[in-house]
Structure 1
Amino acid sequence: MSQFIIRNEERGHDLIKSDGSRSSYIAGHPDGFVTRASSFDFHEYQAGRPGFGPIRVFGDEVFHGAGCGYNMHPHHNFVICAFVFSGELTHINTAGGGMVDRLSAGDYYVFSAGSGGKHSELSVTPEDMHAIYLWLLPEQLYLPPSYHRAHFDFRRRRNEIVQLVGDGDNTLPIPQDLRVSRLIADKGQNFPYALRTLSHGIYVFVREGRINCNGVELGYRDSMGLSDLATVSIDILDDDSDVLLVETILIDETTIKVWESEHAGD
């Protein structure tokens, strides 16, 4: 078994002001700002550790101030997922005929930029918007852009691992061998998670609460990645613990470096 642990204080922590210096990208009034805590090291998302499999970004972000967020900007050959936990996210994207979507707590989306797409993400209400962003490489390049969204009912789906993204029933499709699940559970419960194959790994992130994952205690915003094992065991140590699990195929790092050199401006 291989593993790595990222404690909350070891993540990259950034405060990005909406002061005009980056107005082509950062939106909002000069009093607005984005706080970002990132688990991996990718361009402006800095945490000192490279990605995990096709995962390039796992960003824990808060938009502070009405109108704060990201202005319209392009991507290609990237898949971006957002999971909203509080506030309201207005997401404008060019997939298909283009659309404007408003997401609240429990809502989430998968935007595959594929051959080329643009999007803008804004918090237009006074309430802070908190979301976790997951960026990953697609399994196939230059696919047609696509957008899907759904809702996780956190009041009804307690004490079970619920798959949100991937190839399961009632999940959002994604062009990669990857699955995202969420677990909100009460103290004293145990949850085994069986990986598809030994070629898959899993990234476990504790958004709230405290757990024991394969003998390692993880608290608020702590995380770990595990590979070369068949099953992960999660013991819940605090009530209302909220855990995200990202199971992914593991990719040869040489292949990833070639991809990154070809897409350095994305």
Structure 2
Amino acid sequence: MNPTFVLRANERGHDVISSDGPTSSYVAGHPGAFITRESSFNFHQYQAGRPGFGPIRVFGDETFHGAGCGYNMHPHHNFVICAFVLEGELTHINTAGEGTVDRLRQGDYYVFSAGSGGKHCELSISPEDMNAIYLWVLPSQLYLPPSYHRGHFDLRTRRNQIIQLVGDADGALPFPQDLRVSRLVTDRKGAFAYAPRSAEHGLYLFVVDGTLTCGDATLGRRDSLGASGVKTLEFEAADATDVFIVETAIIDDDRVRAWEKEQAEAS
């Protein structure tokens, strides 16, 4: 099986956003703090290029540099946002329910559904850099009540198996869309297979570290691929490989355009 597309690390969009100057109201932090962001898909100020994958609009690999760096409180509606912390510590504040203040470290992750309207703030309080994967997805239903859930992936005890973190599996965080996020961390070479729910579901694989071979494609650190119309995706991972697997229903462009028009009219 050859993938539908391969996106190399150096082909992703690249942004540097400073806490000084015109972006200082949006980006928090002491003078000299900044955010680096590598984006797999295009969405407004994100990468100009491939227009998402199914309902996925953003797959961002972001690092907060400097004490207090991050995003000041800002609003969202009708988006589901996930963060998977790879390094450092992330303080997340949101207005879902009675409000939440959460501190996430390596292996922690959250699902924040902004729904009918919510605000959140993302900060790296300590001087240590914080690196996280951010995933933005269109929900299957508009104007749901905002919600927040968090989980933890133990890198030491859950090795060499594909673990579902988000979706409808036992122990996974609930998600208001036909989408599942899994993670595989290996400490030895091995062959793996992932079977999506149907051929109408697509798979997006993102290699955090290590090496993965799928069909004719060999992926290294921060490379990724997308595949659709397959019954099973088979791949081989080298030792010390860390990969995210996102399974999603593939929605057609007409539905996406209708959703975007509806959002523009509502805002």
Percent identity over the alignment?
A: 66
1:195 is paired with a residue whose SS is coil
**Aligned AA (2:260):** E
- 2:211 aligns with 210
1:131 matches 2:132: yes
- 1:254 aligns with 254
The two structures have a TM-score, normalised by structure 1, of: 0.97
- Once the 2 structures are TM-superposed, how far is the Cα of residue 91 of structure 1 from its aligned partner? 0.2
Inter-CA distance 47–11: structure 2 relative to 1 (3 Å threshold): farther
**Aligned AA (1:25):** Y
Q: Does the 8 Å contact 1:39/1:47 carry over to 2? A: no
- Once the 2 structures are TM-superposed, how far is the Cα of residue 47 of structure 1 from its aligned partner? 4.4
Correspondences of 1:149-168 after superposition (within 5 Å): 149-168=150-169
**Aligned AA (1:118):** K
Over residues 138-167 of structure 1, what are the superposed CA-to-partner deviations in whole Å (9 max), with x where a residue is unaligned? Answer: 000000000000100010000000000000
- Once the 2 structures are TM-superposed, how far is the Cα of residue 259 of structure 1 from its aligned partner? 1.5
- Quote the Cα distance in structure 1 between the aligned partners of 2:188 and 2:256: 39
Correspondences of 1:156-195 after superposition (within 5 Å): 156-195=157-196
Correspondences of 1:66-85 after superposition (within 5 Å): 66-85=67-86
**Aligned AA (2:109):** Y
Q: Does the 8 Å contact 2:160/2:188 carry over to 1? A: no
* 4+ long deviations beyond 6 Å: none
- Quote the Cα distance in structure 2 between the aligned partners of 1:226 and 1:234: 12
- 1:122 aligns with 123
Correspondences of 1:39-118 after superposition (within 5 Å): 39-118=40-119
- Once the 2 structures are TM-superposed, how far is the Cα of residue 188 of structure 1 from its aligned partner? 2.5
Inter-CA distance 47–218: structure 2 relative to 1 (3 Å threshold): farther
Q: Which moved more, 1:104-113 or 1:178-187?
A: 178-187
- Once the 2 structures are TM-superposed, how far is the Cα of residue 46 of structure 1 from its aligned partner? 0.9
- Quote the Cα distance in structure 2 between the aligned partners of 1:188 and 1:128: 30
Superposed CA RMSD in Å reads 1.3
- Quote the Cα distance in structure 1 between the aligned partners of 2:19 and 2:25: 10
- 1:38 aligns with 39
**Aligned AA (1:14):** D
**Aligned AA (1:162):** I
The two structures have a TM-score, normalised by structure 2, of: 0.96
Q: Does the 8 Å contact 1:10/1:47 carry over to 2? A: no
1:259 is paired with a residue whose SS is helix
1:255 is paired with a residue whose SS is helix
Over residues 207-243 of structure 1, what are the superposed CA-to-partner deviations in whole Å (9 max), with x where a residue is unaligned? Answer: 0000102331111100010001100012013x21000
- Once the 2 structures are TM-superposed, how far is the Cα of residue 258 of structure 1 from its aligned partner? 1.9
- Quote the Cα distance in structure 1 between the aligned partners of 2:21 and 2:53: 34
- 1:198 aligns with 199
- Once the 2 structures are TM-superposed, how far is the Cα of residue 185 of structure 1 from its aligned partner? 1.1
- 2:235 aligns with 234
Q: Does the 8 Å contact 1:12/1:37 carry over to 2? A: yes
2:145 is paired with a residue whose SS is coil
- Once the 2 structures are TM-superposed, how far is the Cα of residue 187 of structure 1 from its aligned partner? 4.0
**Aligned AA (1:225):** G
Q: Does the 8 Å contact 2:205/2:224 carry over to 1? A: yes
1:140 matches 2:141: yes
Q: Does the 8 Å contact 1:177/1:248 carry over to 2? A: yes
